[in-house]
C-alpha cells in the first residue's frame, strides 16, 4: 500500500468551511423560509450546535481567537487593525498544529482577517507559516462593485447597506472560484492527510449574488423587525452604538427589506457552494474519512433592535452556526451554550492530536457523541465599538451584559428562555437580584480575576 494511502487511513482529513458574516438564519436553525438545503444536509449528518457563541463579534478578533484557541483578552487582538503575529508571535495556531503533525494544510480565500471587499484577491494580513499552500481567488463581484445599489453612501463600502443582483454564473463569483480551487485540491491531495480551509466571503457586505438567488425570496414577504417607540431608553447607549444613524442606518423600511432579501440571497448562494464541496467529497469517496466543519466568525443583525451587521452583544450578533460532521459519529443536536474557543481542541481530538497547552477551550467530542452529556459551561463574549467595552456571559437560560468595568456604563439582563429576542431588559430588577449577582461573578472571574 502506498505510504500516503496508509497514512490517510490513520489520520482523518479536515475540510473547514469558514463563512464570513453568516448568522443562524438557516433552515436547519429554525428559519423555515431560508433555502439552505446543503447546509441543512450537513447538519442532519453531523452535530449541529444550537447555541454556539463567538468570543468577539468582529472578524479579526473572532478569527484570531478561533485559530489560536485563546480568548480575545489573551490574544490582545480587539480590533481589525492589529496584525495577528504582532500580537501572537509564538503561538501555535490550529492550521499550524495540523501542519506540524504531517498534514497538507491549505487556505483558499478568507481565513485570517481580511478587509472585505478591499482584500479580495489578496492575502491581506495573513499568517504564511500556517500554510503549505495559499490561494486568493477573485471574481467578477470585485470588478462590478460600481454596479451596486447603495442606500448608505455616507458609510465605507465594507459597511454599506448595498446589493447587486449579479449577472453570470456561480463560478464567476469569488466564492465560486474559492470552491472550484478547493475541489481541485481535494482531488490532488486525496491520497494524503489534508486540512483545507475554504474561506467564503459572502454574505459579508456588499451583498452580491447571482440573480437567481434573489428570485428565491419574495420581497413582499420580507419582514423588518419591529422596534418599540421607547426602545432606545430601555438599554444602555453602548448596546446600540454599532449602528450609527440608529435605527437601520437611516434607511427606509423598503430599503432595509431589500437588503434583507439580498442577505438571504447571499446565504442561498453560499449554501449552493457548500453543496458543491460536499458533492466533491462524496464523488472522491473522501466523506468517510473527512471531518467537515462549517462555521462563521460571528453572527449578524438584520434590523433586530434597529441594528445592522455585528459588533453587539445581543443574540443575533454573538450566536453563530457551528456544524461538525466527523467519521463514526451519528448526527444529533447539542442544545446548550458552547464557545467557539472549543473548536481548536475539538478538531485536535477528532484527529487524534494532542492539544497544545496554550489552548483555553475544551473539546466537545464527548458532546458530539452524547448530546445528553452534563455540560454547564457558560459562553463569554466581549466587544467595544465607539462606546464603552462590553462583557457578556450566556448561560442556558440567561444573558447578562456589563458595559464598562462593573457595568459603570450600563447593564443588561435577559431571560432568554422566555424572551429569546432579548427585548425585556431585567437588569437591576429586585426579582432577579440573585441571578444578576451570580452572573456578574462569572464576568468578574473571566475578565478581572485571572
Alpha carbons 360 and 352: distance in angstroms, whole number: 18
Same topology between domain 3-370 and domain 388-450: no
**Distance in angstroms (rounded) separating the CA atoms of residues 429 and 321:** 32
pLDDT tens-place values along the chain, 450 residues long = 343 344 445 799 999 999 999 999 999 999 999 999 999 999 999 999 999 999 999 999 999 999 999 999 999 999 998 888 998 999 999 999 999 999 999 999 999 999 999 999 999 999 999 999 999 999 999 999 999 999 999 999 999 999 999 999 999 999 999 999 999 999 999 999 999 999 999 999 999 999 999 999 999 999 999 999 999 999 999 999 999 899 999 999 999 999 999 999 999 999 999 999 999 999 999 999 999 999 999 999 999 999 999 999 999 999 999 999 999 999 999 999 999 999 999 999 999 999 999 999 999 999 999 999 999 999 999 999 888 999 999 999 999 999 999 999 999 999 999 999 999 999 989 999 999 999 999 999 999 865
Indicate the CATH number for domain 3-370.
3.40.720.10
Model pLDDT, residue 387: 80
Largest CA distance in the chain: 71
Q: Which of 152, 314, 299, 149 is nearest to 227 (CA)?
A: 314
Instruction: Answer whether CATH 3.30.1120 is correct for domain 388-450.
Output: yes
CB 277 within 8 A of CB 179: yes
**Nearest Cα to Cα of residue 104 among 138, 84, 127, 134:** 134
Distances (CA, A) of 417 to 149, 228, 437: 39, 21, 19
CA dihedral of residues 283, 326, 23, 36 (deg, nearest 10): 40
What does the DSSP 8-state code read for residue 216? T
Query: What is the DSSP secondary structure assignment for residue 285, as one 8-state letter?
Result: T
Q: What is the reported pLDDT for 10?
A: 74
pLDDT at 449: 67
Other Cβ atoms within 10 Å of 304 Cβ, number = 21
Helix (H, G, I), strand (E, B) or coil at 336: strand
Contact between residue 375 and residue 369 where contact means Cβ atoms under 8 Å apart: no
Distance from C-alpha of 338 to C-alpha of 66, rounded to nearest angstrom: 13
Alpha carbon distances (Å) from 30 to 21, 50, 177, 263, 421: 18, 10, 30, 17, 14
Domain extent listing, the chain: 3-370, 388-450
Tell the residue number behind the cell numbers 453587539, with chain if given: 312
Find, among 344, 323, 445, the residue nearest to 393 by Cα. Answer: 445
Q: Tell me the DSSP string of 103-149.
A: -EEEEEE-SS---TTTTTTS--S--GGG-SEEE----HHHHTGGG-E
Q: Strand 162-166 to strand 207-210: parallel, antiparallel, or no bridges (unpaired)?
A: parallel
How buried is 157 (Cβ within 10 angstroms: 0-12 exposed, 13-18 middle, 19+ buried)?
middle
Question: Any catalytic annotation for residue 97?
Answer: no
* From 28, 54, 97, 113, the catalytic residue: 113
Helix (H, G, I), strand (E, B) or coil at 189: coil
Q: Are 207 and 259 in contact (CB under 8 A)?
A: yes
| Of residues 296, 364, 286, the one with CA closest to residue 329 | 364
Q: Which residues pair with 380 in a beta bridge?
A: 393
pLDDT value of residue 385: 83
From the list 11, 7, 10, 21, the residue with the least C-alpha distance to 63 is: 21
pLDDT score recorded for residue 15: 98
CA 403 to CA 412: how far, in whole Å? 9
- How far, CA to CA in Å, does 29 sit from each of 17, 33, 186, 293? 17, 11, 29, 16
Query: Catalytic: which of 28, 59, 259, 266?
Result: 59
Within 190-311, strands assigned E span 194-200, 207-210, 290-296, 301-302, 308-309
Grid coordinates belonging to 301? 443583525
CA 335 to CA 337: how far, in whole Å? Answer: 7
Could you confirm whether 266 is annotated as catalytic? no
3-class secondary structure per residue, 65-109: HHHHCCCHHHHCCCCCCCCHHHHCCCCCCHHHHHHHCCCEEEEEE
Amino acid at each position: 500500500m502506498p505510504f500516503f494511502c496508509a497514512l490517510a487511513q490513520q489520520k482523518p482529513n479536515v475540510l473547514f468551511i469558514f463563512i464570513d458574516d453568516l448568522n443562524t438564519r438557516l433552515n436547519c436553525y429554525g428559519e423555515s423560509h431560508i433555502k439552505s438545503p446543503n447546509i441543512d444536509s450537513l447538519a442532519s449528518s453531523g452535530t449541529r450546535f444550537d447555541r454556539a457563541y463567538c468570543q468577539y463579534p468582529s472578524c479579526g478578533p473572532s478569527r484570531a481567537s478561533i485559530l489560536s484557541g485563546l480568548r480575545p483578552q489573551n490574544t490582545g487582538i480587539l480590533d481589525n487593525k492589529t496584525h495577528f503575529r504582532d500580537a501572537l508571535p509564538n503561538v501555535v495556531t490550529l492550521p499550524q498544529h495540523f501542519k506540524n503533525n504531517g498534514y497538507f494544510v491549505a487556505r483558499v480565500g478568507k481565513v485570517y482577517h481580511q478587509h472585505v471587499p478591499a482584500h479580495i484577491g489578496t492575502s491581506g494580513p495573513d499568517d504564511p507559516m500556517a500554510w503549505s499552500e495559499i490561494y486568493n481567488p477573485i471574481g467578477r463581484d470585485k470588478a462590478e462593485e460600481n454596479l451596486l445599489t447603495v442606500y448608505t453612501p455616507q458609510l465605507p463600502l465594507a459597511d454599506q447597506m448595498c446589493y447587486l443582483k449579479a449577472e453570470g454564473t456561480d463560478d464567476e463569483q469569488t466564492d465560486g472560484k474559492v470552491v472550484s480551487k478547493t475541489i481541485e485540491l481535494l482531488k490532488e491531495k486525496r491520497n494524503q492527510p489534508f486540512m483545507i480551509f475554504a474561506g467564503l466571503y459572502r454574505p459579508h457586505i456588499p451583498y452580491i449574488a447571482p440573480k437567481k438567488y434573489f428570485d428565491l425570496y419574495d420581497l413582499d414577504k420580507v419582514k423588518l423587525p419591529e422596534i418599540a417607540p421607547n426602545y432606545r431608553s430601555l438599554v444602555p447607549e453602548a448596546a446600540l452604538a454599532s449602528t450609527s444613524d440608529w435605527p437601520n442606518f437611516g434607511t427606509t423600511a423598503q430599503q432595509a427589506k431589500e437588503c434583507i432579501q439580498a442577505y438571504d440571497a447571499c446565504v442561498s448562494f453560499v449554501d449552493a457552494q457548500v453543496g458543491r464541496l460536499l458533492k466533491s467529497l462524496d464523488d472522491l469517496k473522501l466523506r468517510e474519512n473527512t471531518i467537515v466543519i462549517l462555521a462563521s466568525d460571528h453572527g449578524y443583525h438584520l434590523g433586530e433592535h434597529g441594528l445592522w451587521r455585528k459588533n453587539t452583544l445581543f443574540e443575533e450578533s454573538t450566536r453563530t452556526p457551528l456544524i461538525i460532521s466527523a467519521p463514526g459519529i451519528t448526527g444529533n443536536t447539542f442544545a446548550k451554550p458552547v464557545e467557539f474557543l472549543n473548536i481548536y481542541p475539538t478538531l485536535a481530538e477528532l484527529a487524534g492530536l494532542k492539544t497544545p497547552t496554550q489552548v483555553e477551550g475544551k473539546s466537545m467530542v464527548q458532546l458530539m457523541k452524547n448530546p445528553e452529556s452534563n455540560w454547564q459551561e457558560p459562553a463569554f463574549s466581549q466587544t467595544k465599538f465607539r462606546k464603552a467595552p462590553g462583557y457578556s456571559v450566556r448561560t442556558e437560560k440567561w444573558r447578562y451584559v456589563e458595559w464598562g468595568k462593573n457595568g459603570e456604563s450600563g447593564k443588561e439582563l435577559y431571560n432568554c428562555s422566555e424572551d429569546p429576542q432579548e427585548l425585556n431588559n431585567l437588569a437591576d430588577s429586585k426579582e432577579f437580584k440573585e441571578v444578576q449577582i451570580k452572573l456578574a461573578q462569572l464576568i468578574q472571574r473571566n475578565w478581572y480575576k485571572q
